[in-house]
Chains A and B, each alone.
Chain A
């Protein structure tokens, strides 16, 4: 985040250094950072790490994409019409109240231990931030903006693509900004709980086998992944935000 002084990293760096210096490589609980690389090495050698990262990333990206499309679509539809909003809100709110974690065993039972099941589990909760921002934005679109295509005689398709989509884009981006880290967390969650594939599965397996150095190493990799997602989303948001400047 801009503006946070870099010297704030001191405690973290100091902690890691301290850990490194005082840690016992043989400790089953707190192996020092230098052992982490070795801990992860077997996975790299067996070609498992890269594959797992690929699977996690794929689920994350496709899940986020579908969540964005669905969230934007439903959010816009619900925001466009008060009656529809009132009709669907209670059901939607109920679905939203179910935590993602509780959906995992359900999905695993109903859909099986597959990559598709992973996607379903990711899409459902990740959809909400986007749905909500789009609903709110659609509701507050200026009536004058909505009358403009009518008076200019634009077709419904043109109205949707030339007016609605650009006008709602900032809201979609805001929703994606919130949904992206969420999608990553849920991807890892479903992988850790169901062990279908991906980084989470590796983490779970490492823990089960008491390979603590590997656990910490994988944890760090997960952290890097999380950091990258946040960074990309923030950059994209800023870039597009600059172009859309002036949009209400």
Chain B
């Protein structure tokens, strides 16, 4: 990470915003509903002020996190079994790969069909989406370096000890990556579920503001979505670094 603050980059970013503002104000760039940055800022203020943003954000994050948490538990558990027990892997992997080919978005209408316009739809979709990276990363993480496992045998550790002391820590960096990816994906698919299914949360807010022809507020909501993603990702990474400092250091992620 660069110690020097990237002034040039920051300046360019601000410059782009200014040019955007100018182009829209002077009418050079005129789409019927393209707002200048000032309107976006204003929209953000309105959304925060009337509480719409807070409740929408809360709803979406809640659903996304719930789906992700469930996927985390299921994914790590199933992934561990698949990664550790060879016969299970042999007799399921191809099925998983076939299922994986199905684009996840296509499942959203299915979920809406089954669960209707409710938050369960969101959680189901978020969970299914997050399951994949978590599951796959756990599987690959569990297929540990043979030498490491051998050391466990050499030191006469019990199988449970080998699992707990060698395999799980070795798999941790992979699992953490899977969890991070899973969270991003859960967030995105939750948004989709809100746009297509359950009329609540940020996804619905986006669609609503679009239909209400409020581009300033809509862009502001998009901005919030982007920031949420970054923040969540950072939180997971930070928590992982705190909890698993040693394991992550080995994979070069932390000094």
Q: Is A86 close to B, CB under 8 A?
A: yes
Could you give, for residues 66-105 of chain A, a 1 whenever the CB lies within 8 Å of some chain B CB and a 0 otherwise?
Answer: 0000000000000000010011111100100111111111
Distance of B82 from chain A, by nearest CB (Å): 10
On whether A108 and B12 interact (CB within 8 A), knowing A97-B230, A101-B191, A215-B110, the answer reads: no
Shortest Cβ distance from residue A53 to the other chain B in the assembled complex, whole angstroms: 13
Give CA–CA (A90, B12) in the complex, Å: 8
The reply on B106 being an interface residue by CB < 8 A is yes
Contacts A99-B225, A204-B196, A223-B101; is A5 near B110 (CB within 8 Å)?
no
Interface centre among B32, B107, B108, B109 (most CB of A within 10 A): B109
**Does A7 lie within 8 Å of B106, measured CB to CB?**
no
- Inter-chain CA distance A188–B109, complex, in Å, is 11
B6 — which chain A residues lie within 8 A by C-beta? 86, 89-90
Within 8 A of A (CB), among B197-222: 202-203, 206-207, 209-210, 213, 215, 218-219, 221-222
Residue A58, interface by CB 8 Å = no
* Chain A residues whose CB sits within 8 angstroms of the CB of B95 once the complex forms: 8-13
On B, residues with C-beta under 8 Å from A are 6, 8-13, 16, 31-34, 89-99, 101-110, 112-114, 184, 187-189, 191-192, 195-196, 202-203, 206-207, 209-210, 213, 215, 218-219, 221-222, 225-227, 229-230
Given known A10-B91, A98-B225, A109-B215, contact A207–B110 (CB-CB < 8 A): yes
CB distance from A11 to the nearest CB of B (A): 5
Q: Is the CB of B114 within 8 A of A192?
A: no
Q: Is the CB of A105 within 8 A of B109?
A: no
Contact of A204 among B96, B109, B191, B218 (CB under 8 A): B109
Tell me if A6 and B94 are in contact (CB < 8 A). Answer: yes
A89–B16 Cα gap in the complex (Å)? 13
B133 → chain A, closest Cβ, in Å? 13
Q: Is the CB of B94 within 8 A of A192?
A: no
Note all chain B residues with C-beta closer than 8 A to A100. Answer: 188
Answer whether residue A178 sits at the interface, using C-beta atoms and an 8 A cutoff: no
What are the residues of chain B within 8 A of A192 when measuring CB–CB? Answer: 105-106, 108-109, 192, 196
CA distance A84 to B187 in the complex (A): 32
Bound-state CA distance A87–B213 (Å) is 34
**Is A29 a contact partner of B226 (Cβ separation < 8 A)?**
no
Please count how many residues in chain A sit with their CB below 8 Å of the partner chain's CB atoms. Answer: 58
Other-chain residue from A5, A94, A181 in contact with B90 (beta carbon distance below 8 A): A5
CA distance A39 to B166 in the complex (A): 51
**The one of B9, B98, B222, B227 that contacts A12, using a Cβ cutoff of 8 Å:** B98
Bound-state Cα–Cα, A193 to B227, Å: 22
Contact with B along A144-188 (1 / 0, CB 8 A): 000000000000000000000000000000000000010011001
Chain A residues closer than 8 Å to B229, beta-carbon distance? 97, 99
In whole angstroms, how far apart are the Cα atoms of A235 and B184 in the complex?
29
Which residue on B lies nearest to A189, using beta carbons? B105
A and B contact pairs by CB, cutoff 8 A, 13 listed: A7-B94, A10-B92, A12-B95, A90-B13, A94-B13, A98-B226, A101-B195, A101-B203, A192-B106, A192-B196, A206-B109, A219-B102, A222-B103
State which of B93, B109, B188, B213 has its C-beta within 8 Å of the C-beta of A99: B188
Q: Is there an interface contact between B222 and A106, defined as CB atoms closer than 8 Å?
A: yes
Known contacts A207-B110, A222-B106; is A103 also within 8 Å of B97 by CB? no
Q: Which residues of A contact B103 (CB under 8 A)?
A: 181, 184-185, 188, 222-223, 225-226
Indicate which residue in B99, B106, B191 contacts A102 across the interface (CB closer than 8 Å). B191
A90 to B2 alpha-carbon distance, docked (Å): 12
- The answer to whether A106 touches B219, judged by C-beta atoms less than 8 angstroms apart, is yes
Closest 10 CB pairs of A and B: A8-B94, A12-B95, A207-B109, A90-B9, A223-B102, A227-B101, A222-B106, A105-B210, A8-B93, A109-B210
